[in-house]
Amino acid sequence: MKDQFIEIFNDHIKRPGADALLAWLEKSDFFTAPASTRFHLSEPGGLVKHSVHVYERLRELYSNELARDTDGPVILSDEDEEKIAICGLLHDICKVGCYKQEPKNQKTYDPEKVKKAQKWQVKHDDLGDFIWETVMVYKFDEDFVYGHGEKSVYIASAYMKLTREEAVAIRFHMAAWQDGEKQNAGKAFERYSLAVMLHIADLQATYLDEADQNGKNG
């Protein structure tokens, strides 16, 4: 998925500073980090996989909207391709450097593991026989607290200039999870259809494309 991300990035994002931003991403943990701690794509490489999924969903949504206003085949301009790639691929770069692994003790009811365990290790509860085992889990540990979408805009803007449409779309890609943000998110969606589509693409990627890969989402 890393190769696919880089190919899309290089094919469509041409503005000054893009090369430096990609170099920064390659030096970071962006391509090895999970997309979440325990929900969608909580696995190594989950973040880049989610980013490509969002890009693909956003490009499809954008093309479908253009098709509503034309009778012929939809051909995206270079400008369209660039802003779709920027918003889809970079909306979650705020998560770079935020995931750490730590050990956690948890129950396992795996019959093979229980069978191989020593008698003193085997416990019992309402679900049956189990043993305790130590597993590595992800935790979210953010050093630079700057919001979610806001932080992605901040990082991207440090390397290349974003249009107002792109910045607003990335800023509100999660819509409003706090009451105080509902009015601002509503204004963003009224003014920029790209913001609406990025939000929908993020939901589609998380709850449709990635649901079967995790067995759960949230």
Cα-based distances in Å from 120 to 10, 99, 107, 124, 144: 57, 35, 15, 11, 45
Q: Could you tell me the fold of the domain covering 2-98+144-213?
A: Hypothetical protein af1432 (1.10.3210)
- Predicted structure pTM score: 0.83
| Beta strands 128-140 and 123-125, pairing class | antiparallel
The domain spans of the chain are 2-98+144-213, 100-140
Query: pLDDT by residue (tens digit) across 72-102?
Result: 788 999 999 999 999 999 999 999 998 888 8
Query: pLDDT by residue (tens digit) across 148-174?
Result: 899 999 999 999 999 999 999 999 998
